[in-house]
Amino acid sequence: MPTLDDLRRTAIGLPGSEERATTGGAAWFVRGKLYAWECHPWPSIPADMREIIAAELVVGVKVAEPLDALALVEMGPDIFLRTTTTWGEPKVAFRMAGIDDDHLAELVSEAWRLQAPKYLRRELDDVGA
């Protein structure tokens, strides 16, 4: 089971990524834009999801489209939470206990890619080439 330290290792390898402590826990930004965060059981979260978040480590990431989040939830309903907030931006939350290291790295990297400016995405692509 991956930990926040595993997420940190992935995030630190992404150009321009920075971690910040927030009232809800750790969060990762690129050029001031949030792309991954430790979920916190806020009162605005539906009660059944709040219970899960209070009991175990849950991380949220940005996704390209709401349909992407829906597809992940349908693919892994025991891993991906159906909803965490009423806010409309595309995102998905998942139970870290259900994710393997490779899938975590993919989710975090893709979330970073959605928020990163082109020059940082090119920098990452050039390193991988």
CATH number for the domain that contains residue 40: 3.90.1150.30
Mean pLDDT of 16-41: 95
For residue 78, the Cα-to-chain-centroid distance in whole angstroms is 16
Residue 84 lies in a domain: yes
Q: Identify whether 127 is part of a domain.
A: no
In a domain, 88, yes or no: yes
Q: How many domains does the chain have?
A: 1
Domain that holds residue 41: 4-120
Q: In this structure, is residue 60 part of a structural domain?
A: yes
Residue 65 inside a domain? The answer is yes
Q: Label the pairing between strands 58-62 and 33-38.
A: antiparallel
Q: Give domain status of residue 128, yes or no.
A: no
* pLDDT score recorded for residue 88: 67
80-81 and 91-95 beta bridge pairing: antiparallel
pLDDT of 128 reads: 61
Q: Indicate whether this model's pTM tops 0.85.
A: yes
67 CB neighbour count, 10 Å cutoff: 10
Residues 108-116, mean pLDDT to the nearest whole number: 97
pLDDT, one tens digit per residue, over 46-100 is 899 999 999 999 999 999 998 999 999 999 999 999 877 666 679 999 999 999 9
**Within-domain flag for 125:** no
Task: Say if 43 falls within a structural domain.
Answer: yes
- Report the 10 Å Cβ neighbour count for 121: 18
